[in-house]
Amino acid sequence: MLATASQWLVIATGVWLIGLGVFMLIQPRQALAALGQMGGSPTVHIGEMAVRILAGVAMIFAAAASRFPVAISIIGSFLIVSALVLLLLPRRWHAAYSRWWSCHIPVTAVRLIAPMSWAMGGALIWSVI
């Protein structure tokens, strides 16, 4: 039951990545504005970290039944560790980092990397179905 729930959460993460890629392609300026808001408030910061941790835990639990158990475990572990590090650092650092990138990534680059989000989302889904 836990493995099945984890697989569905991993699939949801893949769907989210695909949707994010569509958003990046269609509304690149708004995608950059959203990036600039990451870490901007305690609610957004903690919410983002909670989603990262949830996705990471789901990947770890779903890894054994996936096509690439080692890779999925590593990605899940990275998500968890990176979220915990960001929770330990001052939130203003996360906010400043997000704002910096949102001002320095060209709109064209956002559109160009959108297909990478689709590919990664699709690969994530494919790896657990």
Per-residue pLDDT of the chain (129 residues; tens, 9 = 90+): 888 999 999 999 999 999 999 999 999 999 999 999 988 888 999 999 999 999 999 999 999 999 999 999 999 999 999 999 999 999 999 999 999 999 999 999 999 999 999 999 999 999 999
**Per-residue model confidence (pLDDT) at position 5:** 93
Note the pTM of the prediction, 2 decimals. 0.89
Number of DSSP helices (H) and strands (E) in the chain, helices first:
6, 0
**Per-residue model confidence (pLDDT) at position 3:** 84
Radius of gyration for the chain, computed over Cα atoms and rounded to the nearest angstrom:
15
79: tokens are: 């998500």
**Per-residue model confidence (pLDDT) at position 92:** 92
**Per-residue model confidence (pLDDT) at position 39:** 83
Neighbours of 8 (CB within 10 A): 13
**Per-residue model confidence (pLDDT) at position 24:** 97
Amino acid identity for residue 59 in this structure: M
